[in-house]
Structure 1
Amino acid sequence: MDWFEQSLVRLVKSPHKAWLETLPRQLHDFLSKPHGDFRKWQRVLKQLPDINTEQQPTASLGDTVGIGPAELASDSDRARMRGLLKQLQPWRKGPFELFGLNIDTEWRSDWKWQRVAPHLDSLSGQQVLDVGCGSGYHLWRMLEAGAEDVWGVDPGELFLTQFQAIKQYMPASIADRAHFFPVGIEAMPELKSFDTVFSMGVLYHRRSPLEFLQQLKGLLKAGGQLVLETIVVAGDETTVMMPGERYAQMRNVWFLPSAKALAVWMQRLGFKDIKVVDHNVTSLDEQRSTDWMQGESLKDFLDADDPSLTVEGYQAPIRAILTARV
């Protein structure tokens, strides 16, 4: 439990301590039955160079989440770090920079944050949860925005490993306030304790989107804010599309409502002050293949002759951001 010990101690003193009724057992089960590559990924982390010997690193939590300065690492340190971290591909959410080594991720997640940030309440002093946090890029941005503690949940073992790779170099004053647990939202109790809950890029993967929205609602304290980002389609309050076996080459896409229909769903579930604050067509510059994610990306999922359509003939991805209160 070494990976989670500090976070569990922090949880004891937090408003979410009821989570301790279920979480330790779930973490024990996770560690006792790891994914086939998880042990290999752990070994990668242990081999990363220890470069914090004489001077503590500094962190920049801006558009590129960076740790430096570059002078703390030698060229051989960077070469070793690059070779090891490349074993943790694909790197999807970022970008990151470690002592001059740039990790150019598939997604320019900073662009999403730039769309989200103007519509947030102040996160200063808040307890913030990110459901489906991926590699944790946005957790660092939430700390930059003033959050007291950020809690990420995502069952992806590779994402957890990537998060730990960044966290282990972070100054303790920052790292001790960032937490990642490899569980899904369905394994969480109804805590009603978070000031702000984020869910970005998850809703369309859920077979029961209304149940998922209800679960998000159950994690917020009274007056708390939900920030929801998801793929939508054009249409009115009654428009919902259920694609066939694949959408943009993704197998696990279930329901794609219009932003207006999604707002109706949220209203029916008891959310208040619902606002559609952003509507954005995903560009080929925001999601693309890189040296750190060498597989297919958005351009491969769109019709080569008409990029307004997916390869299956559906409307190309539009992403909306909605905010609401409980």
Structure 2
Amino acid sequence: MSSKFKWRSLFYQSLLNTKMEKYLADFADKLNDWDTCGNVKEKTKLSKQLASLPECNNVQLDINDIVSIASDLPLSEGERRKTISILKQFMPWRKGPFSFFDIHIKTEWRSDWKWNRVLPHIKSLKNKKVLDVGCGSGYHLFRMHQAGALQIIGIDPTSLFFYQFQCFKRYMPEQNIHFLPIGIEAMPSTQYFDCVFSMGVLYHRPDPIKFLKELKQQLAPGGQLVLETLVVEGDKTTVLVPNERYAQMSNVWFIPSVKALIVWLEKVGFEDCKCVDIGFTSTDEQQSSEWMQNQSLVDFLDPENHSLTIEGYQAPLRAVITASVASTK
């Protein structure tokens, strides 16, 4: 099988002898459709760049705040320059940080800060089946692996994020960590996963109730949802609907208060809903870098008052909500 399809075969093999095996044909159809949808020319270019990364043996994966891969034999200076040039074809790098054979990729987000806030408040992931909806570059998939998860699947329809993940996954095919370039709406109703993460997605959905139902459909009985999202201060009736943009993002639809969000979760059948962390995003946690040269948070805030966005809304306040689905009686 060609390298183009290797990641698929690894994913299909991971489903064998599990309750997900019955969805093999469905996943194959969705992934085959992906080949011809979107910007095919861009995907072809990124595939070629991916294949140009250095061939290294004895690659070790080290997962801490920085997700790193390294080899016993370091890159030569020429190989290093070429590799940096290739990796920059995958810019902007938003979620991380990563280290690629001692090349430090300083991403826009310090995603390790978010993970370190979330981890103390969730059930143990050891030997669990985990789904990350809207997984970005896949940084948190590696952190879930570090936490002992048995089977890890990330989904995100953004092709660039898929190829960023593959820059690392190609060196560790044996790890049961997989990225599918599809959205939640393409997932069958599996009721399979012990834990479903959705971090930084809800406010991008025009129908948040439908999205919460889709998340619930992925959880096994007794499973836990970990939902991280923008919120606003207020009571059960408070929901911000930005006029055109929020912090310069045009794809923000609804930002509820924590209390309103818990009402939404309970309305679709979640139990034991609680806010375990809340705080304003700082410009240290989200900022531009050599690897993400676009504007970032500091450019989206009122220059005279960082407690407001440039549009005059409350500055980004992010909460982590945990919730569960009922166990089978």
Pair in the same fold by TM > 0.5: yes
Residue type of the alignment partner of 1:29: D
5+ residue gaps in structure 2? Answer: none
Q: Which residue of 117, 120, 130 corresponds with 2:119?
A: 117
Corresponding residue for 2:15? 11
Secondary structure at 1:72 match in 2: coil
Cα displacement (A) at 1:49: 1.1
Corresponding residue for 1:48? 53
Secondary structure at 1:275 match in 2: strand
2:56 is aligned with 1:58: no
Cα displacement (A) at 1:15: 2.7
Cα displacement (A) at 1:51: 2.2
2:82 is aligned with 1:80: yes
Cα displacement (A) at 1:69: 4.6
Corresponding residue for 2:243? 244
- Tell me if the contact between 1:18 and 1:191 (Cα under 8 Å) persists in the aligned partners: no
**TM-score, normalised with respect to structure 2:** 0.95
Secondary structure at 1:307 match in 2: strand
- Tell me if the contact between 1:278 and 1:320 (Cα under 8 Å) persists in the aligned partners: yes
- Tell me if the contact between 1:71 and 1:99 (Cα under 8 Å) persists in the aligned partners: no
Aligned mates of 2:72, 2:232 — CA distance in 1: 44
Aligned mates of 2:232, 2:14 — CA distance in 1: 41
- Tell me if the contact between 1:94 and 1:108 (Cα under 8 Å) persists in the aligned partners: yes
Aligned mates of 2:270, 2:293 — CA distance in 1: 40
2:324 is aligned with 1:325: yes
- Shift in alpha-carbon separation, 1:70–1:234, aligned structure 2, 3 A: farther
5+ residue gaps in structure 1? Answer: none
- Shift in alpha-carbon separation, 1:34–1:46, aligned structure 2, 3 A: farther
Cα displacement (A) at 1:126: 0.7
Corresponding residue for 1:91? 93
Deviations 1:119-153 (A, max 9, x none): 11110111100000001000000000000111000
Aligned mates of 1:260, 1:306 — CA distance in 2: 26
- Tell me if the contact between 2:56 and 2:71 (Cα under 8 Å) persists in the aligned partners: no
Aligned mates of 1:214, 1:108 — CA distance in 2: 29
Deviations 1:147-173 (A, max 9, x none): 011100000000000000011123x44
Cα displacement (A) at 1:34: 4.8
Q: Give the 5 Å matches for 1:180-199.
A: 180-199=179-198
- Tell me if the contact between 1:70 and 1:99 (Cα under 8 Å) persists in the aligned partners: no
2:161 is aligned with 1:159: yes
**Structure 1 residues 31-40 or 240-249, which shifts more?**
31-40
Secondary structure at 2:107 match in 1: coil
Residue type of the alignment partner of 1:178: I
Deviations 1:28-53 (A, max 9, x none): 1111335131111111011111122x
Aligned mates of 1:197, 1:11 — CA distance in 2: 17
Aligned mates of 1:19, 1:281 — CA distance in 2: 40
Cα displacement (A) at 1:57: 1.7
Aligned mates of 1:268, 1:34 — CA distance in 2: 35
Aligned mates of 2:17, 2:91 — CA distance in 1: 35
- Tell me if the contact between 2:59 and 2:72 (Cα under 8 Å) persists in the aligned partners: no
**Structure 1 residues 139-148 or 28-37, which shifts more?**
28-37
2:302 is aligned with 1:297: no
Aligned mates of 1:78, 1:85 — CA distance in 2: 10
Deviations 1:200-258 (A, max 9, x none): 00000001001100110010000000000000001111111100111100011000000
**TM-score, normalised with respect to structure 1:** 0.96
Q: Percent identity?
A: 52
**Structure 1 residues 10-19 or 177-186, which shifts more?**
10-19
Aligned mates of 1:70, 1:17 — CA distance in 2: 37
Q: Give the 5 Å matches for 1:137-176.
A: 137-170=139-172, 172-174=173-175
Aligned mates of 1:301, 1:96 — CA distance in 2: 25
**Structure 1 residues 292-301 or 70-79, which shifts more?**
70-79
